[in-house]
A = this chain, B = another copy of it.
Amino acid sequence: MVKRTSLARAECPIARALDVIGDWWSLLIIRDALLGRRRFGEFQKSLGLAKNILTTRLRTLVDRGILQMAPASDGSAYQEYVPTPKGRGIFPILVALRQWSEEFDEHPQEITTLLVDRDSRRPVRKLELHASDGRMLGGFGDTTLMARPAAKRRRRVSN
Beyond contacts A14-B97, A120-B133: 5 other A-B pairs, Cβ-Cβ < 8 A, are A93-B100, A113-B148, A117-B143, A124-B129, A128-B130
State how many residues of chain A have any CB contact under 8 Å with chain B: 84
Q: How many copies does the complex hold?
A: 2
Distance between Cα atoms of A129 and B116 in the complex (Å): 11
A11 within 8 A of B: yes
- A75 / chain B contacts, CB cutoff of 8 Å: none
- A71 / chain B contacts, CB cutoff of 8 Å: none
A5 within 8 A of B: yes
- A117-B132, A132-B124, A146-B114 in contact; A18/B24 too (CB < 8 A)? yes
Establish whether residues B89 and A145, one from each chain, have CB atoms under 8 Å apart when the complex forms.
no
Establish whether residues A127 and B34, one from each chain, have CB atoms under 8 Å apart when the complex forms.
no
Closest CB of chain B to A114's CB: distance in Å? 4
A73 within 8 A of B: no
- A128-B127, A130-B124 in contact; A31/B14 too (CB < 8 A)? yes
A110 within 8 A of B: yes
A94 within 8 A of B: yes
- A149 / chain B contacts, CB cutoff of 8 Å: 114
Establish whether residues B119 and A131, one from each chain, have CB atoms under 8 Å apart when the complex forms.
yes
Distance between Cα atoms of A11 and B101 in the complex (Å): 11
